[in-house]
Amino acid sequence: MTRARTAVVLAVLAVIAVGATVGVAVATREPETETSGHLPPAAVQSVVDAASGARLDVPADDWTVRGQRARIYYADAHGRPAVVVRGPAVLRAGYCGAQPHGSYRAFAGFTRQPFDAWVTAIGGPAERSTDGEIQRATLQPDASGPCAAAEVELAMRSTGGVHVVVVADAGALDDDEVDAVLASLELAEPDVAH
């Protein structure tokens, strides 16, 4: 085998290995047929919280679920992560040509920090509202750069000690889409010893 062919074979094997690893972290499944308040009956991807075992669904189209080592965060004044989502799902990854490896229109996932910490970390003037378990804020962060959004929508659902957050550029998702993602939250079944 020539060096070029050997390199191609090794590259294909590497892609297969990465695909197999990602397949473990991302489960694609068909939801239940009942759609009231949930994602429509189409393929979805699940984000699983490693700490609690809870699950959250996002649509398969335009969303990418990242591995558990990936994190998205907002930093405090000292550059330390103030609020964090690990293993998030991101909407339209790489949409901004100026920052193709770090841009997205929205993200969703599990966090340990409460709603007020997110409002503070994102910053800017906030319009807040609460609807049952869902808290919302529209923020105007002081961000700059070619990929920065002038306005950000924040939504959080907290139940059973689990916090799920959706952060989106204004207009990237409508309220129904955000509600469907948050409504898909399923807490892990407690272990019952027999």
- For the stretch 111-163, pLDDT in tens is 999 999 999 999 988 899 999 899 999 999 988 888 989 999 999 999 999 99
pTM: 0.77
**In degrees rounded to 5, what are phi and psi of residue 30?**
-95, 130
Q: 2-16, 22-36, 64-78, 154-168 — which is least confidently predicted?
A: 22-36
123 residue type, one letter: G
What is the model's pLDDT at position 15? Answer: 36
Q: Considering only residues 29 and 51, tell me which one the structure prediction assigns the higher pLDDT.
A: 51
Query: Please, are residues 127 and 138 in contact by the beta-carbon 8 Å criterion?
Result: yes
Query: Please, are residues 120 and 82 in contact by the beta-carbon 8 Å criterion?
Result: yes
Question: Roughly how many angstroms between the first and final C-alpha of the chain, as a whole number?
Answer: 58
CATH classification (class only), 28-183: mainly beta
What is the model's pLDDT at position 120? Answer: 95
CA-to-CA distance for 108 and 58, rounded, in angstroms? 8
What is the model's pLDDT at position 42? Answer: 63
84 residue type, one letter: V
Domain chopping of the chain, boundaries: 28-183
Question: Mean pLDDT in the chain?
Answer: 81
Query: Please, are residues 126 and 119 in contact by the beta-carbon 8 Å criterion?
Result: yes
E strands, 78-151, in order:
81-91, 106-111, 126-131, 134-139
CA-to-CA distance for 68 and 177, rounded, in angstroms? 24
Q: Nearest CA to 118 among 163, 53, 88? A: 163
CA 46 to chain centre: 10
CA-to-CA distance for 119 and 49, rounded, in angstroms? 22
The two structure tokens encoding residue 99: 């920052």
Residue 34 pLDDT grade (very low, low, confident, very high; cuts 50, 70, 90): very low
CA 163 to chain centre: 12
